[in-house]
Amino acid sequence: MDFSLTEDQEMFRGHIRKMLDTFGGTQVAREMIENKPENLKKLYHTLAELGCMAINIPEEYGGLDLESLDLVPTYEELGRSLVPGLFMETNALAVPILKKYGTDAQKQNYLSAVAAGETHISFAALEPFHDFSPQGIQCTLQQKDGQYVLNGTKILVPEAELAEAFLLLVRTSGDQEDGLALVLIDKTDELSITKQASFDEAKHVAKLDFTDYTITEEQIVGEADKGWANLQEGLLYFNAALSSYMVGAMESVVSMAADYANIREQFGQKIGRFQAIKHSIVDMKVHLEIARSLSYYANWVADTDEADREAAVYSARTYTTEKFIEASAQNIQIHGGIGFTEEIDCHLYVKRARYYDQYLGSTPFYQEKVVASLGW
């Protein structure tokens, strides 16, 4: 038995961390708030040079053919600095789906480009006034004169301005899960993209409007009516990745809190000596370590066919989102007045925690999946 990352994986973490430090940690996220994505783009370029995007791509498409677990250090480090972008949507959602269900042409086309760092794929599923359920998908894909036509609206599409392509979840028939399809479309000038305001301003989201937008059959990924089922498979990888990203972010929160408690003095002593503060940081730390263990396991189990695969991934997602929200909120309290300012990073983490908690399902939503997957 060995429940740890390998030395290589830890070493790789070291490289990524160093690299992100040269970009100024959360500085990249802060620049996104000011709509300056230049450094983010540079950062992604460096990530590609380091081979990050190639990790889980088969060798025949220019990848390294490694496991999800090999991506964990990268996810965690990106989370530490709250780096936005499409790394997870691309490598942890679109890539596994393409690997499992894509046609040869799609794989050749997209996997190679992803591995080379040329293509970033965003994910468009959510729609106005609907939840993340099969019934919530109303954007239609209809056959017309040998072509396919898209109609409808997608919201909360992450980082549309950085994407070269979009993975879409659309309705082909009925109102159930067997009438849904996944399609991949390239970004072109004809696409109607409108930026949406998000309170996590470091994480850009957009609205995509489709009016008789035509695509070809070759753009459908996997069997047309298996879109929902295939997406669930992809979401296992995505949620495992997301939990690692949040673990990284939480680690940053815990060390911010501990560092501050070690320097800030009140009543003639370090505030970390007050147990109300000390114990609250300890609780954050305890939750962080448990979240980390859950997320390691989730990323490991995703590549296997273990019986607890779904339960493991979804419990990692729920536990981590919940505790990330708590810890990032408590971090503000521990910082006192300065914690409430824009100047200090505390707020960035609170916003990201909330963003992810409600992205593609909530805690109760995934808790239900845990229970259902266990057959209870």
Partner 1 sequence: MDFTFTKKEEKFRTELRTWLEENLPEGWLEGKRDLPEDIEEYSRVLRDWQNKLYEGGWAAIAWPKEYGGRDASLMEEIIYHQEMVRVKAPPLINYIGIHMVGPTLIDMGTDEQKEKYLKKILTGEEIWCQGYSEPNAGSDLTAIKTRAVKDGDRWLINGQKVWTSFGHVADKCFLLTRTSNHPEKKHRGITVFLIDMDQPGVETLPIVQMDGHKEFNEVYLTDAEATDADIVGQLDSGWHVLIALMLHERTGIGAELFTLEQQFNDTVKMSQQYKINGRPLIQDPMIRQKMAGFYARIRGSLLNYYRNLTTTLKNGRPGPESSIDKLVVSELNKELSSFAVEIQGHHGVLWDQDAPADSKWQSLFLASFGQTIGGGTSEVQRNTIGERVLGLPKDMGR
Q: Which residues bind partner 1 (CB under 8 A)?
A: 1-5, 69, 254, 258, 261-262, 269-270, 272-273, 275, 278-279, 281-283, 285-286, 289-294, 296-297, 300, 308, 311-312, 314-316, 318-319, 364, 366-368, 370-371, 374, 376
Which CB sits closer to partner 1, 207 or 335? 335
Q: Please answer whether residues 85 and 42 qualify as being in contact, where contact means their C-beta atoms are separated by less than 8 angstroms.
A: no
CB of 285 to partner 1, least distance (A): 6
Q: Please answer whether residues 48 and 102 qualify as being in contact, where contact means their C-beta atoms are separated by less than 8 angstroms.
A: no
Question: Residue 191 gets which letter from DSSP?
Answer: S
Among 127, 375, 117, 356, which residue's Cα sits nearest to residue 244? 356
CB of 364 to partner 1, least distance (A): 5
Which CB sits closer to partner 1, 219 or 321? 321
Which CB sits closer to partner 1, 117 or 272? 272
Which CB sits closer to partner 1, 245 or 297? 297
Alpha helices in 164-219 (DSSP H): none
Separation of alpha carbons 95 and 372, rounded Å: 26
Which CB sits closer to partner 1, 233 or 308? 308
Own/partner pairs for 262-265, CB < 8 Å, 24+ apart?
264/336
Q: 143-175 burial string, b = 16+ CB within 10 Å, else e?
A: eeeeebbbbbbbbbbbbbebbbbbbbbbbbeee
Question: Residue 149 gets which letter from DSSP?
Answer: E
Neighbours of 138 (CB within 10 A): 15
CB of 371 to partner 1, least distance (A): 5
CB of 246 to partner 1, least distance (A): 14
CB of 96 to partner 1, least distance (A): 18
CB of 309 to partner 1, least distance (A): 13
CB of 335 to partner 1, least distance (A): 15
Which CB sits closer to partner 1, 1 or 105? 1
Which CB sits closer to partner 1, 130 or 270? 270
**CA 245 vs CA 168, 228, 356: distances in Å:** 23, 24, 10
Token digits of residue 154: 């997608």
Using alpha carbons only, give the angle 15, 18, 19 rounded to the nearest 5 degrees: 85
Token digits of residue 206: 């957009």
Token digits of residue 64: 């390294």
CB of 297 to partner 1, least distance (A): 5
Which CB sits closer to partner 1, 208 or 311? 311
